[in-house]
Amino acid sequence: MYVGALTLDLLLGDVHSLKQKRSVIRPIVAEVQRRYPTVAVAETGDNDLHRRAEIGVAVVSATAGNCTEVLEACERLVAGRPEIELLSARQRLFSEED
CB-based contact 27:92 (threshold 8 Å): no
Query: Could you give the number of structural domains in the chain?
Result: 1
Query: So what's the pLDDT on residue 74?
Result: 96
Query: So what's the pLDDT on residue 67?
Result: 94
Sign of CA dihedral 85, 8, 43, 45: negative
Query: So what's the pLDDT on residue 97?
Result: 78
Residues of the chain scoring pLDDT < 50: none
Virtual torsion, Cα 25, 31, 34, 39, nearest 10 deg: -60
Query: So what's the pLDDT on residue 96?
Result: 82
Distance, CA of 14 to CA of 59 (rounded, Å): 31
Could you list the residue range(s) of the whole structural domain that residue 26 is in? 2-95
The model's pTM: 0.89
Query: So what's the pLDDT on residue 52?
Result: 92
Query: So what's the pLDDT on residue 32?
Result: 96
10 in helix, strand or coil?
strand
87 in helix, strand or coil?
strand
Query: So what's the pLDDT on residue 87?
Result: 95
User: What CATH number is associated with residue 8?
Assistant: 3.30.70.1120
